[in-house]
Amino acid sequence: MVQQERDAMTTPDRQAVARRIRRVSQLSGSFTLRSGAVSNTYFDKFLFESDPDLLRDIVTLMVQLIPANTDIVAGLEMGGIPVVTALSQISGIPSAFIRKEPKSYGTCKYAEGPPLENKNVTLIEDVVSSGGAILDSLARLRADGIEPDCAVCVIDRQTGGREALAEHGLELRCVFGMDEIVG
Q: Over the stretch 143-156, which tens digit does the pLDDT of each residue have?
A: 999 999 999 999 99
- Cis peptide bond upstream of 78, omega within 30: yes
Give the pLDDT mean for 160-178. Answer: 97
Give the pLDDT mean for 38-47. Answer: 90
Closest CA to 80 of 92, 68, 62: 62
pLDDT confidence of residue 41: 86
Number of helices and strands in the chain (H, E): 8, 8
Quick one: 124 exposed, middle or buried, by C-beta within 10 A (0-12, 13-18, 19+)? buried
- Domain positions in the chain are 3-182
Closest CA to 57 of 27, 12, 110, 100: 12
Give the pLDDT mean for 156-163. Answer: 95
Give the pLDDT mean for 9-31. Answer: 93
What CATH number does the domain located at 3-182 have?
Answer: 3.40.50.2020
Q: What percent of the chain has pLDDT over 90?
A: 82
pLDDT confidence of residue 183: 66
Residue 1 has pLDDT above 50, yes or no: no
Which CA distances in Å does 177 have to 150, 160, 180? 17, 12, 5
Is 72 in contact with 114 (CB distance < 8 Å)? yes
Distance CA 112, CA 110 (A): 7
Distance CA 102, CA 37 (A): 27
> Residue 173 forms beta bridges with which residues?
152
> Residue 165 forms beta bridges with which residues?
none
Region of 106 on the Ramachandran plot (φ > 0 left; ψ -120 to 50 alpha; else beta): left
Q: Which amino acid is at 55?
A: L
Is 181 in contact with 48 (CB distance < 8 Å)? no
pTM: predicted TM-score of the whole model, two decimal places: 0.91
- pLDDT digit string, tens, across residues 73-132: 999 999 999 999 999 999 999 999 999 988 888 888 999 999 999 999 999 999 999 999
pLDDT confidence of residue 6: 46
What confidence category does residue 39 fall into, taking pLDDT thresholds of 50, 70 and 90?
Answer: confident
Mean pLDDT rounded to a whole number for the chain? 92
